[in-house]
Amino acid sequence: MLYLFSMEIIKIHDKSFEPYIEAEQIQQIIQRMASEVAKDMEDTCPLFVSVLNGAFMFASDFVRHYKADCEITFVKLASYQGMQSTEKVVELIGLDIPVEGRDVVVLEDIIDTGNTLEEIYRIFHDKKVKSLRIATLFFKPDAYKKDLKIDYVGQPIPNRFIVGYGLDYDELGRNLPQIYQLNNSITMTNLVLFGKPGAGKGTQAAFLKDKYNLVHISTGDLFRFNIKNETKLGKLAQSYMDKGDLVPDEVTIQMLQQEIENNPKAEGFIFDGFPRTIAQAEALDDFLASKGMKIHGTLALEANDEILIQRLLERGKVSGRTDDQDESKIRNRFVEYNEKTAPLIEFYKKQGKYHGIDGIGTIEEITTRLSNAIDNLK
């Protein structure tokens, strides 16, 4: 069902959306596009092919603004399931009129990954059309994965999920006269988790992930996954590591961005092992802001060094980890942690997002303290 909130925020199913592009602005964009196409189609009668279901409102207004002879027909394709592209396009209804020798202009509501566009090009590959042009009301350049020509773009937009004006979320919202974007700030909880070696950060992250239905993003896990699977970013990271160089921040943040993009329905994220520097924290803030998101709180497990050293030494006897068996190496790790983390503590304190948590006690006691802090954030 569709519900209205104050300040025009709407809710569809379990997601909240905020106003993004007004109805009047949409009409201005379409009028401009119609004029551009008419100029290129001078002295011809183009065939407009509208891609259902999303483009029906766009196609209707487009031909209304088009001031020359034209014809229009429809095809129906499916490329979305909920909020996430299925990466597979299925043709449902094909062309039912001859197109050979015609100037064809395909009207699309939105192009993101390009999967639907690839299917459109496939459809027309053997149709012997005189010309084929693509006109899309919205285009997400950050999500686009194909090397296929797009002739007319109404408005490029960030890689955000939008509804309205023919676009839907699980078939609702198409009838909205303007465009709304997903508002993550209302429902999401994004956390940065700090903790010295031995503070139990990994254990607590696992509990919090399950309790609050969050996605746990560990930079260590991301690096291992990308390198093991020889992804483009993994190969790039490995090239720096092979030379003994540090992997640049931009490579790490791209891995994080990719992981966030892979979880569009997430109710929040726990960032573990990132950021480690002010530059990384600023890059993370900038990226999240571009997605309509933000860090809600930074939780730091605080504990006395001497207690943690004894805890690590005991752990080393069981795990066999050499870095947990040498006290001098452990102390060096603490020095490095303090040096790197101190500026970040000040960074998040200035934002009012830093929360120190007593990290000494049973696992259950520490989980309760962290949960109380998170509940206060929400």
The answer on whether 271 is annotated among ligand-binding residues is: no
32, 127, 146, 276: the active-site residue: 276
Distances (CA, A) of 25 to 51, 55, 173: 22, 17, 18
Specify whether 331 is catalytic: no
The answer on whether 31 is annotated among ligand-binding residues is: no
The answer on whether 224 is annotated among ligand-binding residues is: yes
Cα distance between residue 182 and residue 266, in whole Å: 12
Structure tokens, 336? 């490095």
Supply the DSSP symbol for 175.
T
Write the CB contacts of 69 (distance below 8 Å, at least 6 apart in sequence). Answer: 45
The percent of the chain in helix, strand and coil, each rounded to the nearest 5, is 45, 25, 30
The answer on whether 203 is annotated among ligand-binding residues is: yes
Cα distance between residue 355 and residue 297, in whole Å: 7
The answer on whether 199 is annotated among ligand-binding residues is: yes
The answer on whether 369 is annotated among ligand-binding residues is: no
32, 127, 315, 353: the active-site residue: 315
Dihedral sign for Cα atoms in the order 259, 261, 267, 271? positive
Matching residue, tokens 């519900």: 3
The answer on whether 174 is annotated among ligand-binding residues is: no
160, 196, 333, 369: the active-site residue: 333
Matching residue, tokens 């069902």: 1
Q: Which helix (H) or strand (E) holds 116?
A: helix 115-124
The answer on whether 27 is annotated among ligand-binding residues is: no
Specify whether 315 is catalytic: yes
The answer on whether 320 is annotated among ligand-binding residues is: no
The answer on whether 331 is annotated among ligand-binding residues is: no
133, 196, 201, 311: the active-site residue: 201
Task: For residue 131, list its beta bridge partners.
Answer: 103
The answer on whether 191 is annotated among ligand-binding residues is: no
Specify whether 291 is catalytic: no
Q: Answer whether 267's CB lies under 8 Å from 188's CB.
A: yes
321, 340, 349, 378: the active-site residue: 321
The answer on whether 160 is annotated among ligand-binding residues is: no
Specify whether 276 is catalytic: yes
The answer on whether 219 is annotated among ligand-binding residues is: yes
Q: Answer whether 48's CB lies under 8 Å from 40's CB.
A: no
The answer on whether 275 is annotated among ligand-binding residues is: yes
Instruction: Specify binding-site residues for ATP.
Output: 198-203, 315, 361
Active site residues: 201, 276, 315, 321, 333
Binding positions for AMP: 219, 224, 245-247, 273-276, 280, 321, 333
**Which residues are part of a known binding site?**
198-203, 219, 224, 245-247, 273-276, 280, 315, 321, 333, 361
